[in-house]
Structure formats: C-alpha cells, structure tokens
Amino acid sequence: MDCKTNELSIQEMESYFSEDYLHFSDLVNPPEVSDREMEAIWKLLSLGCGSPVLELGCGYGRIANRLAEKGARVTGLDISPSLLKKAATDAAERRVDVEYVHGDMRSLPWRERFDAVILWFTTFGYFDEADNERVLHEAAASLRKGGRLLIDQINRFHLLREQSPTYDIVQRDNDLRIDIINNDALTDRRNNERIVIRGGCVRRMHLSIRQYGFSECSRMLRSAGFDSVEAYGQEGEEFTSYGPRLVVVAYK
C-alpha cells in the first residue's frame, strides 16, 4: 500500500481480512471478551428484542451473531468474502438468522431501515478524509429517525504513551503473526505492517487507520445529520483522557 495516499484499496482490505486473519482471531478476541463487548453494545444502544441493527465491517460475525442470539434482527456488511463465509457458518451453528451482505460501507443499499448502526473494534477510518465522512453519511441515511450510531476506536491520546514503532506478536502452534505499528503524528494515522508466518509461507500485508479525536468525530457526525454525540470509554465505561478506547454514540 502506498501510505502517502492514505487510501486502502478493496484488494488490500481483502488481503488483510483473509484466512490468515481468521486463523489468529480467537487468540486476539477470545469468546469471553466478545460476550462482554456484546453486552456493552446492547446497553449503550438501548437495544431490545426485535431491534433492527446493522454492523458495518462485521468481520466473522463475533458481535453480530451474539446480538442475534440476544434477540436483535441483525444485518452484517463486510468487504471480505472469507470472513463473511465464517460469519454465516457460525450463525448456522448458533441457529440464528443474520443477513450477511458483501459490500462497501461507503455505499449502502438501505435507507431509514435500522434502529442502530455499529462500527466496532476500529472499523472506522480505513479511507481518506472524504470517504471516511462518506461512511458516516451512509450510516446516517440507513438509520430511522431516532436511530443511533456507535463507533469504537482507539483513543488517540492513549497512543501518546506508546513508543513508535510498537511490536505485537501472536502465536498459534508454529504459526506467527507479527504486527509492526507506527503512529504518524503528521497524518494522525496508525500504520500497521503485518507479517504472517504460517504453514511454511511468509505473507506481508498493510493496514492504515485514521485516528480521530472526539471533537473531530462530533463535527463529522453533526455534519452527517446527527443531533447529539456522546463519548464513553472502553465497553461503555466513563471516558478518560488516556484510556485505551474512545466509544462514540451519535443520535439521529
């Protein structure tokens, strides 16, 4: 990826969110963490049985399928065929009905359909400034009046405590996933070079995420048509300046 463009192509996203991503997923997000996050989302969005919910960047369905088990009517959208296949398989095993759609969050087919839209686990900020704002406008258009949008991302101020680059290693049996992460203060982007050593093969991939502060999020969300915006910390706790996560809830 050419990081100078601050663009993430569809091909690069599909490469990053692939079978290699799935291979290490339960180590990164074990089931008990996903259970806890689902409960936090349910509470933050005031969901009820039958609530129509859209998860953008739903991945392999770890949140979407749990919300469906809780009673929501869930639609999940993702760009990765591999992750969507896993999500559908897991939904069938859990005996829940989730509508999974292969698509781009910058262009949604729904209008005024959902009570809530979710962008969880740093799924906002993949694109350049214009396209990131386009995601918010599309999310707003898919929501009914009174609907809520939830965004979970890394707290930018928390990153100030990190040395750059940082290194993160995940091991499953003889396979390794190595992340080399640089925080670019000039572009406010978190650039990750990922090296996967699996089955005797080495693969490299890249991901770049724009890191937004609350004031930027609030401005963009109001421009997209939301009336009010609230800030929380990790899993809906009180926001603190140097806490690990910024969770934003916007009301249409």
Q: Are residues 118 and 41 part of one domain? A: yes
Q: Are residues 63 and 14 part of one domain? A: yes
Q: Are residues 200 and 168 part of one domain? A: yes
Q: Per-residue pLDDT averaged across 228-244, rounded? A: 97
The distance in angstroms from the start CA to the end CA of the chain is: 35
For 115, list phi and psi in degrees, rounded to 5.
-85, -25
Q: Are residues 23 and 113 part of one domain? A: yes
Torsion of CA 196, 164, 248, 209, to 10 degrees: -50
Q: Is the pLDDT of residue 111 over 70?
A: yes
Q: Are residues 99 and 16 part of one domain? A: yes
Q: Is the pLDDT of residue 214 over 60?
A: yes
Task: Quote the number of domains for the chain.
Answer: 2
Q: Are residues 84 and 23 part of one domain? A: yes
Beta strands at 245-251 and 228-232: parallel, antiparallel or unpaired: antiparallel
For residue 30, cis peptide bond before it (omega within 30 degrees of 0): no
Q: Are 212 and 153 in contact (CB under 8 A)?
A: yes
Cβ neighbours of residue 188 closer than 8 Å, sequence gap 6 or more: 156, 210, 211, 212
Domain hosting 49: range is 3-155+212-251
Q: How far apart are CA 138 and CA 86, in angstroms?
A: 26
pLDDT in tens, 173-207: 999 999 999 999 999 999 999 999 999 999 999 99
Q: Are residues 87 and 185 part of one domain? A: no
Q: Are residues 122 and 151 part of one domain? A: yes
pLDDT grade for 73, boundaries at 50, 70 and 90 = very high
Q: Are residues 190 and 123 part of one domain? A: no
- Residue 178 β-bridge partners: 169, 195
Identify residue 91 by its one-letter amino acid code. Answer: A
Q: Is the pLDDT of residue 209 over 70?
A: yes
Q: Are residues 141 and 102 part of one domain? A: yes
Q: For tokens 């969880």, name the residue.
A: 120
pLDDT in tens, 1-54: 333 445 678 888 989 999 999 999 999 999 999 999 999 999 999 999 999 999
pTM of the model: 0.96
pLDDT in tens, 143-179: 999 999 999 999 999 998 888 899 999 999 999 999 9
Helix (H) and strand (E) counts for the chain? 8, 11
- Indicate which CATH number applies to the domain containing 146: 3.40.50.150
For 20-42, give the DSSP string.
HHHHTHHHHS-HHHHHHHHHHHH
